[in-house]
Amino acid sequence: METIKEEIQAAGSAEVNDEGTDIELHMKSFSPKGEIGIHHLQKIYESKKSRFEALKNIDLSIGTNEFVTIVGPSGCGKSTLLRIVAGLDELTDGSVTVDGEEVIGPGADRGMVFQGYTLFPWLTVRENIEYGPKLKGIPTLERRSISNYFLKVIKLESFAKAYPKQLSGGMKQRVAIARALANRPKVLLMDEPFGALDAQTKLEMQEMLLEVWEKEKTTVLFITHDIDEAIFLSQRIVVMGSNPGRILKIFDVKLPAQRSPEVREHPEFLALKRELGQLLKHE
């Protein structure tokens, strides 16, 4: 076992306890940054017959380990913006940077979680989590320590060998989050990840996501239609309007950093909910 311990510690990212039975991954060697810069971004969808300005003059800076949520009416360009930050869509003008480096395509520094369950059905939960690290050529032993760590974080250790079809919707999304995080992204991009879940599961997932975010120190850019969800999760909320897609207003969420379920009754929560509701009603 000593050999395993040495091998993992040499990799600089994990430690084995004294018994050597439980491989525990630590974040020592992991120094996340994840500053996102969106500068004068414009996106035009153009075909022979039509021209549609989906995003106009978007300027937004998101700091390291910040949790920012975008809300706005359907079609205002939220997903387009997120996909451009992910490098999945091309921008027309302006630029997007992560830690000062221009985004020119998808990269392991940005993890993505969508509403649809995008797990590989032919792989087990553990194999899904280990998929990214395996692609990167991370050795089996280290991959195992990564999946052990994230199985614990998402509280699905006993489902390591299960296949996606054996999981509930909430469990699948937990695995999707773990799979994205296993790549050690600096930025987690989430497009309505809890949109398809029932109300109770959604609340549980929100709490779990905040726990994970506090542990992992990743920057999160999150999209939702749900104002309560936006306020509960975020440090800042970006409200977008449509035609063309643009930023209307950015709100600081002045709630305690530690978000317990009771925070939903906080006067600041209720006041912000009213203000956001009013703003979105006119969009």
Q: Under the rule (CB under 6 A), what is the footprint of ligand ATP? A: 45, 52, 54, 72, 74-80, 245
Least separation, in Å, of the C-beta of 105 and ligand ATP? 17
User: Least distance to ligand ATP from the beta carbon of 202, Å?
Assistant: 17
**Residue 146 C-beta: closest distance to ligand ATP, Å:** 32
Cβ proximity to ligand ATP, 59 vs 268, nearer residue: 59
Q: And the tokens for 123? A: 């792989």
Question: φ, ψ for residue 87 (rounded to 5)?
Answer: 85, 15
Our CB check for ligand ATP shows the closer of 35 and 53 to be 53
State which residue, 75 or 116, has the beta carbon closest to ligand ATP.
75
CA–CA separation, 30 vs 50, rounded Å?
46
CA neighbor of 208 nearest in space, from 185, 164, 255, 176: 176
Q: Looking at beta carbons only, is 16 or 76 nearer to ligand ATP?
A: 76
- How far apart (Å, rounded) are the C-alpha atoms in residues 276 and 141? 48
Measure the CA–CA gap between 101 and 251, rounded to whole angstroms: 27
Of 43 and 126, the one with the shorter C-beta distance to ligand ATP is 43
| Minimum CB distance to ligand ATP, residue 113 (Å) | 15
Q: Counting every residue, how long is the chain? A: 283
Q: State the nearest-atom distance from the C-beta of 75 to ligand ATP, in Å.
A: 4
In b/e form, how buried is each residue of 108-126, taking b as 16+ CB within 10 angstroms?
A: ebbbbbbbebebeeeebbb
Q: 78: which 2 tokens?
A: 């939220």
